[in-house]
Amino acid sequence: MQVTATRHAGRVKEALTGQSACVLVDDVAAALAVADAWAPEHLEVQTADAAGVAGRVRNAGAVFVGPYAPVSLGDYLAGSNHVLPTGGTARRTGGLSVLTFLRGIHVVDCTPAALAQIAPHVDALGTAEDLPAHVNAVRVRGPAQPHSLPVRADLAGRAPYGAPQIDVAVRLNTNENPYPPSPGLVTAIADAAANAAATLNRYPDRDAVALRADLAAYLGHNLGFREVWAANGSNEIIQQLFQAFGGPGRTALGFEPSYSMHPIIARTTGTTWAGAARAEDFGLDADRALESISRLRPDMVFLTSPNNPTGTALTAEVIEAVCAGAPGMVVVDEAYAEFARNRDNTGRRAHHVQGVRAGRRADRVPGGKRGCRGSDAARPPALPSVRADPGDRTRGP
């Protein structure tokens, strides 16, 4: 009825006959896909939440949102330009504006710290394009190194981790026992060392089966030695976990403030570290954790219980909820487990959790620390593949 009554009925009929079509779609997402493929000069959005839908449009000369924004408003008064891309060219260009007549000059400035932080990405892209001079242009701008050693740019100038070693009676910052080992313990260690010295012509069992069996018995949870791994302190265990399940192109998530070695080891293994905030009381509930996991989709999730430095512990329910929602490996760092009020709050019933403990916390003998990791039997033995051999340098045929 409107066509026959309009002044330019002939033009309208010609447009509707040869230049128009109706496309029936299942939902708004499909409608957006059609619109982006067509890349119209003018696009009207007449839907519920029209503004939200308009924000998802990628290809259009001008978008008119809702029932009170007709095309003529944009043509005459709204301020949008009437010279718009036609024939689908909105896929690659926009409407006429003052920017069309300007020549932009890109200016790049950077600080030494910022360059060092992004250097690994430049290194990766330059290497992928086989442009070593591009890569070297960033490397040579890192902090000067002794003897011009080619240290990785992301590590250049960084201070090593370590709590200050202060000459005081009680060293709380390093969690050391102010009392020396008892004479009986000293004798027992000396006797054990003497017995071991008689076999120093041979390398020890590289798989440390006897030690892992003892640790499994200590940990409980019906673990056997195959579900327990041992190394030189918990930091080495954490590093091996990063080597096995992290690395370039992968992300590890932790909830901060927490153990500062987690992001440091992530950096040294080329793993991207994502730090999410804890609650105001430094606690961590399942909803907060799962929101970060859903948003970041990390390859590794680190939970510390009790947490260092806040002392807050996690419930088994939170750990198991994280394990159920995490797409990759969950690491429960229990270096201070012996200080927890409830020592049974672990998530080892979940199928992809790795529990890490440091033996020095319980024994109060920092000089004799060890690290152990417990997991379920279904997890493939990934850590032996990144274990450093105790020193065998022989080569087979």
pLDDT at 20 over 90: no
Q: Identify which of 132-146, 226-240, 242-256 has the greatest average pLDDT.
A: 242-256
* Long-range contact set of residues 217-222: C-beta below 8 Å, sequence gap at least 24: 219/355, 219/357, 219/372, 219/374, 221/346, 221/348, 221/374
Same-domain check for residues 153 and 186: no
199: in domain: no
- Residues 270-325: tens digit of each pLDDT: 999 999 999 988 999 999 999 999 999 999 999 998 898 888 889 889 999 999 99
**Distance in angstroms (rounded) separating the CA atoms of residues 63 and 73:** 11
- Residues 214-233: tens digit of each pLDDT: 988 888 878 888 888 888 88
Same-domain check for residues 12 and 95: yes
112: in domain: yes
300: in domain: yes
Cis peptide before 306 (omega within 30 of 0): yes
165: in domain: no
> Following CA atoms 272, 278, 284, 289 in sequence, which dihedral angle do they give, to the nearest 10 degrees?
-40
How far out from the chain centre does Cα 36 lie? 32
Cis peptide before 257 (omega within 30 of 0): yes
Beta bridge partners of 228: 374
Number of domains within the chain? 3
**Distance in angstroms (rounded) separating the CA atoms of residues 271 and 244:** 11
- Residues 58-88: tens digit of each pLDDT: 999 999 999 999 988 888 888 888 889 999 9
Q: Is the pTM of this model over 0.75?
A: no
Distant-in-sequence, close-in-space partners of 37: CB < 8 Å, separation ≥ 6 = 59
* Secondary structure of residue 124 in the 3-state scheme: helix
Domain around 217: 172-190+206-386
- Confidence bin at 138 (pLDDT 50/70/90): confident
393: in domain: no
Q: 286-296 and 316-325 are packed helices; what angle lies between their axes, rounded to 10 degrees?
A: 20
pLDDT at 370 over 70: no
pLDDT at 141 over 70: yes
Same-domain check for residues 285 and 146: no
In this predicted structure, what is the pLDDT of residue 25?
94
* Long-range contact set of residues 271-275: C-beta below 8 Å, sequence gap at least 24: 271/242, 271/246, 271/247, 271/299, 271/300, 274/298
**Distance in angstroms (rounded) separating the CA atoms of residues 376 and 354:** 8
Question: What are 173's two structure tokens?
Answer: 């910052």
